[in-house]
Amino acid sequence: MTIQVAKLSDPAVRAFVTAVNAHDRDAFQALLAPGATMSDDGSDRDLADWTDREIFSSHGHMDVDNESRGGLALIARYSNDTWGEMRTRWSFTVDDGGRISRFETGQA
């Protein structure tokens, strides 16, 4: 059962999912701490290149099925025009200013 985005516990993660689903690159960038990093399936990736390719250019969309760790870990059905839909895991590190300094994703 999908969790409504507005009901996600962590404000930064809620804003992340909202920005992804709205394809709002500016809002997405505003959520990231300076020097933010990410990994996909355990390999660090260039954040700007990955987000352009996997989210914005390919119409990425997240339907969250489960959250844990106070909303900093998600299980979601992620879809985009390149890969279709897959079950994914997401883990977020949020800095003291409420910005995302790192996220990790991969198949669940």
Q: Is the C-alpha dihedral spanning 62, 67, 39, 35 positive or negative?
A: positive
Please, what's the b/e burial string for 36-45 (b: 16 or more CB within 10 A of its CB; e: otherwise)? bbbbeeeeeb
pLDDT band at 6 (very low <50, low <70, confident <90, very high): very high
State the pLDDT at residue 24: 98
pTM of the full structure: 0.96
Which of 90, 103, 95, 89 lies closest to 47, judged by CA?
103
With a pLDDT cut of 70, the percent of the chain lying above it is 100
Alpha helices in 23-104 (DSSP H): 25-31, 47-51
pLDDT band at 2 (very low <50, low <70, confident <90, very high): very high
Taking only the tens place, the pLDDT of each residue in 10-62 is 999 999 999 999 999 999 999 999 999 999 999 999 999 999 999 999 999 99
